[in-house]
């Protein structure tokens, strides 16, 4: 039971099937013309008859009828081999016409047909030739056999090479698919961790810090967090265009800090990218509310330099911080802002230093 041939192997076999027959037809026709020229005058009628047979068989080779082509090629090489004694002007010397036709046919057979056909046919042809002129053909037989074996080996080597190429390509495609699945899994994990930070972690922090003490409010926050974590929108589920400005208006509404918002018309953004920008902006605003100590925050929406791109800037004049000193375990900036934008194909740049406020720049473009 053999495995299905790959695309490279199929192309190789198709190329061989397409070119082997026409190549044999052209070569045997040229050899036949020169053979007629070199044939003694007494055998010219026979030579012309063999040339006609050669041309007819060549026409079938070009037409691409494998069974008929094989049968006529056996007849052609057998007839030329049997006529050997009459085709040479020097008795006891091999006719180049007969030898070349036999060699060309034996070699091209190995590329077109399986050994179960070529071996019996070659034995039959050699037997006919040896029967016609044993003294001339017996020394030629080993040469033809060796050339046929080498031609078959070359074909098998190339065939296995194409199979290895197909196998390597299939392995590479499988590896790329596995890598893509792994990237998607990691993206989903990052998104889930970011959602966890934005929801449950934020609620726990609010309760722990005493900012929320009403049990009913805590229960409401918890129910909301649970709904988001178990049935939240999958950013890769759909990519219908969304109005980012409308989403940002909802994000900045009702914030604990006064927000100075400014909008410039921007193109519609795919839902997955818009959701990443809105969540990253929401996290940046939440960080400003919790940690900046600023009296207000500004939010600006504008087109990005790249075609179809957008830029969202969130800036405050608060206490600032050193981004390099943020612990790796803290996911507020790294997970909910930077990695979230990167996963959506965008970027997030956080500029801050102690005493100089913080600016978060979110960029996304189609390119």
Query: Which of the residues in the chain have pLDDT under 50?
Result: 1-2, 211-212, 229, 232-238
Domain boundaries of the chain, sorted by first residue? 7-169, 241-364
Alpha-carbon distance 203 to 41, whole Å? 109
pLDDT of residue 152: 93
Q: Which CATH class is domain 241-364?
A: alpha beta
pLDDT of residue 169: 85
Buried residues in 53-84 as b, exposed as e (16+ CB within 10 A)? bbeebbebbeeeeeeebbebbbebbbbbbbbb
pLDDT of residue 203: 54
pLDDT of residue 184: 65
pLDDT of residue 167: 86
pLDDT of residue 211: 47
Tens-place pLDDT, residues 124-147 = 998 988 888 888 888 889 999 999
The dihedral sign for the CA sequence 297, 299, 305, 309: positive
Alpha-carbon distance 104 to 110, whole Å? 10
pLDDT of residue 213: 54
pLDDT of residue 233: 44
pLDDT of residue 28: 93
pLDDT of residue 343: 82
pTM given for the model: 0.52
Tens-place pLDDT, residues 266-302 = 888 887 788 888 888 888 888 888 888 888 899 999 9
């Amino acid at each position: 039971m053999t495995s299905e041939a790959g695309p490279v192997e199929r192309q190789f076999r198709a190329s061989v099937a397409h070119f082997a027959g026409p190549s044999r037809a052209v070569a045997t026709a040229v050899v036949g013309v020169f053979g007629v020229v070199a044939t003694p005058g007494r055998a010219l009628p026979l030579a012309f008859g063999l040339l006609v047979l050669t041309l007819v068989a060549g026409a079938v080779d070009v037409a691409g009828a494998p069974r008929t082509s094989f049968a006529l090629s056996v007849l052609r090489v057998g007839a030329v081999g049997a006529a050997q004694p009459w085709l040479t002007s020097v008795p006891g010397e091999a006719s180049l016409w007969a030898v070349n036709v036999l060699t060309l046919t034996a070699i091209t057979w190995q590329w077109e047909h399986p050994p179960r056909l070529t071996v019996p046919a070659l034995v039959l042809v050699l037997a006919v030739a040896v029967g016609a002129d044993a003294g001339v053909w017996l020394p030629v037989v080993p040469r033809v056999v060796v050339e046929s074996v080498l031609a078959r080996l070359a074909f098998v080597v190339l065939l296995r090479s194409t199979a290895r190429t197909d196998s390597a390509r299939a392995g590479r495609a499988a590896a790329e698919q596995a890598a893509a699945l792994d990237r998607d899994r990691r993206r989903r994990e990052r998104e889930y961790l970011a959602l966890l930070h934005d929801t449950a972690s934020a609620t726990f922090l609010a309760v722990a810090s005493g900012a929320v003490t009403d049990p009913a409010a805590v229960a409401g926050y918890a129910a909301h967090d649970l709904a988001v974590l178990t049935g939240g929108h999958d950013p890769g589920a759909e990519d219908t265009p969304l109005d980012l400005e409308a989403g940002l208006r909802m994000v900045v509404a009702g914030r604990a800090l006064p927000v100075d918002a400014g909008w410039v018309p921007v193109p519609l953004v795919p839902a997955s990218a818009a959701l990443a920008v809105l969540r990253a902006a929401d996290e940046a605003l939440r960080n400003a509310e919790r940690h900046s100590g600023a009296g207000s925050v500004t939010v600006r929406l504008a087109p990005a330099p790249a075609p179809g791109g957008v830029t969202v800037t969130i800036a405050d004049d608060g206490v600032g911080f050193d981004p390099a000193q943020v612990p790796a375990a803290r996911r507020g900036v790294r997970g909910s802002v930077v990695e979230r934008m990167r996963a959506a194909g965008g970027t997030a740049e956080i500029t801050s230093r102690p005493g100089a406020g913080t600016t978060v720049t979110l960029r996304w473009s189609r390119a």
